[in-house]
Structure 1
């Protein structure tokens, strides 16, 4: 953070710039090299707005942005040409629900006691790169304090990974899904002290407002609350409501003051209802939603981020002795198996759907499997791809990505084959461009 003070540094910088300009030879501006131009020749291009493929397409990229999009294979003198014949080009995908600071497993419940934050942060760089190479050029990370630093390191070019919209610490109630003292014995819990708004634990509207302001202080981009119990938390209930409506309203109103959107982890129906009425922007997981909740979501314009991948992962791992603690295992077996079926009913009911995997519960880099699960549940492939492009961009509240169009960020991926006729090719992304820079090429 820069602080107000002496004007001398600013004046010195201005003087140096003026001297440099005076010393530059006449006409130097005119002789500056033209920006590098990259041309992509795509066999097909997925039009995220219309939900269909265009035929052969030329995409011209310069200075990190899409300069033009035209039919056929056009020649651009002096440009670098990337031949993507046989490939389908697509806007870079957006995963709205990841946790880049770890991956769940039998060791997860002790990592907080064993691993240094520096180690967790360094490990997350591997997960970030894996996610980017899978075709996800943007993600929304919904819980993980080290992710704030990871976001900044990626933005500044020190680490390779997707663009991150980060929540930082999730907001919970005492004993709720994101209470950091859950599962600790009383000696450790007493030594740490009772968590409060600074640690993201609240029990009143006033504390709710303080917790949002603390997230602002820490540099979060979005607010995440745990409106119900969770599958993997050390607690018996995975679906009980854990916020009052007044608490949710206080969070949402304060979040709006800072330009934040609010995502709500929620499994049980009553907790989901309170979150929607309280004004959250998206429901994550939504396991026990029904027709009444679908109607309420349509009325309020609330988005649904299903995370089918996480549900299937935990249901599968619950069959393995010792993988989860015994207090977690029955929740994982029961709740995890339901999410895909809920998703199928939700999209048929006209609920707005954004793409999210909860990667970090499952393996980072397997994010594209979510498309397969969506199609398996009955959603057309084109609609599934739209959830991770134009829909996801709308959930984030951004208009610079999610489509391939002039002026937008040059976040473009490609895969061999046609995902509209064979959804499984989404797992074979072999070309990734972010900000106009090629990260991977066939």
Structure 2
């Protein structure tokens, strides 16, 4: 077995043996990994183990790069929750600056997922997501673009989020940015070195924004994409964050919330979050549920056309939980036609490539030692990702039981309850008209 090495700096080393390795793109022939000073320094076989190393026997499990959730919204403590499920990086797609600063600082520590954020997204006055987050700065037209982007950069934004709709979506309509304003924002963001992720819900909205130069769609459209629209997305080189886990916000045919049916996840989810998800299934719901076979089929056809599909959950939507729902999203992607290796790639190397995270997303010498050891063979059975045995962030092994019952958990749930109550009340008023 060929050994791939990087001359390690001084410091203590960790060597994992008796493992299978998914390197972010494929399964390798390696059976051991050596870590030192927060980096991967070698891949190979049992010969990597040296006297004095901390030795981890993987017992035939599979090591993956730390997973990346490409679409979240922050809660207090959510980076700590995410990492307990093997998610070592989260990409926030709209949160207010104080929470972003708190989460980014938390994520810089050894026991929480690393945080990259858009800070406040660009939306029209009164536009989505005002129900959850108002007050915050709005964009009234192209003339606001330069200053809006500069303010987000000053807040530490690593990408820009723009929100656009082409008309009424579902039961409610919100004001939206127009296409010239989005184009001005994209131009300003690109000058500032920021990638642009666009919230869209419909196929027409997606096509409307292609000439603006947006880089990523933050959702797959919820209505049917035509073949011509799919080809236009291919030609534009836009990646798509699927967020199929939004479907988990509705009870299944058995009346239970889908996440709670994943028995391997429930112990780490803990009683408070389990009760919260259960209650979300008993909340007021519209008389007809959305048809989630449509976005799933869109993902299937986009993938077949060569569009990069990325893993993102849109946590903490109802039924969607930081970290835990990445495992559900992987299952949704496989059900939509990706094979397990493609789904794992969408949660690791592919997302790292699209968002310019060159130091992670793969298992290679010189990259961050953000790693997940899972029991089983997720390259064959994608649900095996749920069996997280250990997580390392920059070479440090994490305590996977420290979040449940913590002050972070209580603070996150309190904020979620407040936001959820506001949104459900607004939707119920609209439906009852």
TM-score normalised according to structure 2 size: 0.76
The answer as to 2:299 corresponding to 1:363 is no
Equivalent positions of 1:98-137 (< 5 A) are 98-101=72-75, 124-125=76-77, 127-137=78-88
Higher relative contact order (CA 8 A, sep 6+): 2
Equivalent positions of 1:194-213 (< 5 A) are 199-213=136-150
- Cross-structure match for 2:172: 236
1:372 to 304, 314, 331: 331
- Cross-structure match for 1:63: 37
Q: Secondary structure at the match of 1:39?
A: strand
Contact map agreement 1:97 1:307 (CA 8 A) in 2: yes
Equivalent positions of 1:35-434 (< 5 A) are 35-49=11-25, 51=26, 53-72=27-46, 74-101=48-75, 124-125=76-77, 127-145=78-96, 146-157=98-109, 160-179=111-130, 199-228=136-165, 236-237=172-173, 242-286=176-220, 287-288=222-223, 289-314=225-250, 323-324=283-284, 329=286, 333-334=289-290, 336=292, 338-361=294-317, 362-366=320-324, 367-434=326-393
2:13 and 2:102 mapped to 1: Cα distance? 29
TM-score normalised according to structure 1 size: 0.75
Bigger radius of gyration among the two: 1
Give the drift of 1:364.
2.1
How many residues matched?
Answer: 363
- Aligned-residue Cα RMSD (Å) equals 3.0
Contact map agreement 2:33 2:42 (CA 8 A) in 1: yes
Contact map agreement 1:283 1:304 (CA 8 A) in 2: yes
Give the drift of 1:267.
0.7
- Cross-structure match for 1:120: none
Give the drift of 1:180.
5.2
Give the drift of 1:152.
3.0
* Change in CA separation of 1:304 and 1:368 when aligned onto 2, cut-off 3 Å: same
Structure 1 stretches lacking a partner, 5+ long: 1-32, 102-123, 183-191
Deviations 1:242-289 (A, max 9, x none): 332211111111111221111011111222112222111100222233
Contact map agreement 1:340 1:377 (CA 8 A) in 2: yes
**Which deviates the most, 398-407 or 203-212?**
203-212
Give the drift of 1:216.
1.7
- Cross-structure match for 1:8: none
